[in-house]
A and B are shown apart, each in its own frame.
Chain A
């Protein structure tokens, strides 16, 4: 099976935040939680770049390594998912995650952060595929329907790519060759130490 990944071609990202909005809408993500966000580096200076970032679905994921109740698992496609039934909301995955992906529904909390929520690569959770129970906790399972993540699918400049890591890396490299520049495959070295370039 393919090893799926995200790749944000920052030289194409126009910081329209449509990926963020599409994600929130697709999965009915509650207020205050952003499974995806756009971060602008060197904002307002020449050479600023915007990067759309969510869970990178790391190889040997740090979140999974530190979770005290071991609620993460990696699917055959390389998607990192978790069980909200097991999560105790300790916040440890957020400390370990290099990309700030884990989010918690309760802010300014007293003791509890609530069940952790993060990008699922539009692949749901441990419940049976595309069931109301799965939808309520994790959102739509587009992967089960044969579709790719909504954020990348609707990206108007095709900056955000999702799919087989080897293929999207190839697309990106072709682009860099043609136009002669590229700001890098953001996060790949950190997330995929085993295959930082494809």
Chain B
């Protein structure tokens, strides 16, 4: 039919025209794959330290959107080269220091001998809290150190299979005992904070080196002296750092990002080494390092002479409150 034919002709002309006019515009939009496509080289070179090349993915796992993270190499370097040095210096260094201290200073004795009279230093709930936290800490420290150094130090002794089985249990212990540890930490904070606020006495105590260097000199102290307060704050601050960083490792989808996880493992591992070293000193002074000290956390009762030498002001307070025997019948002990 003529009418439809002319329609078609008109349509063709229109399309032809469109082509003619549209073509230059299309040419302008032509995309140059060489010049404009992303280049791995350029992306890698533009990366800042710790950065990664990321993109879009079509799966729910958000961590999978990271395509290349060269920082993994730095983290590997931390684990395999730096951490052994940090841990070795901190832990072995502390052991050497304590051994030297024991040889030079010897055991710190009760200058006036045991009186035979006891004074209650830590109530049973306090002792329970201490040992809850301490026993968890010891298992956490050993199982944690096994993660860091077991492959080098322990695996050769037992072989790969036995070591892996043991490490599997150690890991479960680490992951579960973290919770009673955090509970103990929180209770310790609540029950001992009031006796651990730094004050003027602490300054004097520190200036006199706590009296531990010379025999028979004891700067006065209340319930806790500056050294013990230091330990308290190391435990609280260190424990909180361990808990926060450990929490992210336990629940890796909380930070949901490999760079953050690397950061928290480094915090966890470095603080762990320093914390373990500090606790070695604490364990030393509470056991072999000082005569009469262990009783405080053992039976809860310490010898009155020990208490007067190390915590004269506290003893006076307790006596004033009528919670302590007022005289021991043996020695009169100077306050300082």
Q: Are B146 and A68 in contact (CB under 8 A)?
A: yes
Q: Are B69 and A98 in contact (CB under 8 A)?
A: yes
How far is A96 from B65 in the complex, measured between Cα atoms in Å? Answer: 16
Q: Are B64 and A69 in contact (CB under 8 A)?
A: no
State which of B8-16, B48-56, B108-116 sits at the interface with chain A: B48-56
A65 at the B interface (CB under 8 A) = yes
Q: Are A100 and B63 in contact (CB under 8 A)?
A: yes
B28 at the A interface (CB under 8 A) = no
A69-89 interface with B by 8 A CB criterion: 69-71, 85-89
Q: Are A49 and B167 in contact (CB under 8 A)?
A: no
State which of B235-243, B245-253, B296-304 sits at the interface with chain A: B245-253
State which of A104-112, A127-135, A148-156 sits at the interface with chain B: A104-112
Q: Are B147 and A90 in contact (CB under 8 A)?
A: yes
Q: Are B68 and A186 in contact (CB under 8 A)?
A: yes
**Inter-chain contacts of A86 with B (CB < 8 A):** 160-161, 164
State which of B19-27, B73-81, B271-279, B307-315 sits at the interface with chain A: B73-81
How far is A49 from B167 in the complex, measured between Cα atoms in Å? Answer: 42
State which of A116-124, A158-166, A167-175, A177-185 sits at the interface with chain B: A177-185
B38 at the A interface (CB under 8 A) = yes
Neighbour of A68 across the interface among B41, B167, B175, CB < 8 A: B167
Neighbour of B151 across the interface among A11, A70, A180, CB < 8 A: A70
Q: Are A96 and B54 in contact (CB under 8 A)?
A: no
Chain B's nearest CB lies how many Å from the CB of A101?
10
Chain A's nearest CB lies how many Å from the CB of B42?
9
**Inter-chain contacts of B92 with A (CB < 8 A):** none
Task: Say what secondary structure dominates the interface of chain A.
Answer: loop
Given the interface contacts A49-B38, A95-B261, A111-B175, does A43 sit within 8 Å of B33 by beta carbon?
no
Q: Are B36 and A88 in contact (CB under 8 A)?
A: no
Chain B's nearest CB lies how many Å from the CB of A10?
8
Given the interface contacts A48-B38, A98-B69, A189-B44, does A39 sit within 8 Å of B167 by beta carbon?
no
A18 at the B interface (CB under 8 A) = no
How far is A90 from B147 in the complex, measured between Cα atoms in Å? Answer: 9
Most chain A CB within 10 A, of B31, B67, B171, is at: B67
**Inter-chain contacts of A180 with B (CB < 8 A):** 34
**Inter-chain contacts of A47 with B (CB < 8 A):** 31, 33, 36-38
B contacts with A, residue count (CB < 8 A): 58
**Inter-chain contacts of B265 with A (CB < 8 A):** 92, 95
Most chain B CB within 10 A, of A67, A89, A183, is at: A183
Q: Are A98 and B160 in contact (CB under 8 A)?
A: no
Given the interface contacts A41-B53, A69-B151, does A92 sit within 8 Å of B79 by beta carbon?
yes
How far is A185 from B43 in the complex, measured between Cα atoms in Å? Answer: 12
How far is A186 from B251 in the complex, measured between Cα atoms in Å? Answer: 31
Q: Are B160 and A69 in contact (CB under 8 A)?
A: yes
B196 at the A interface (CB under 8 A) = no
Q: Are B70 and A190 in contact (CB under 8 A)?
A: yes
Q: Are B164 and A69 in contact (CB under 8 A)?
A: yes
Neighbour of B171 across the interface among A41, A90, A190, CB < 8 A: A90
Query: Which residues in A have some Cβ–Cβ distance to B below 8 Å?
Result: 10-11, 17, 20, 32, 34, 37-43, 46-51, 53, 62, 65-71, 85-92, 94-100, 107-113, 180-181, 183-187, 189-190
Closest 10 CB pairs of A and B: A184-B40, A111-B175, A181-B34, A86-B164, A39-B55, A43-B56, A47-B36, A41-B55, A47-B37, A62-B76
Query: Which residues in B have some Cβ–Cβ distance to A below 8 Å?
Result: 31, 33-34, 36-41, 43-44, 53-59, 61, 63-70, 72-73, 75-76, 79-80, 146-148, 150-151, 155, 160-161, 163-164, 167-168, 171-172, 175-176, 249-253, 258, 261-262, 265
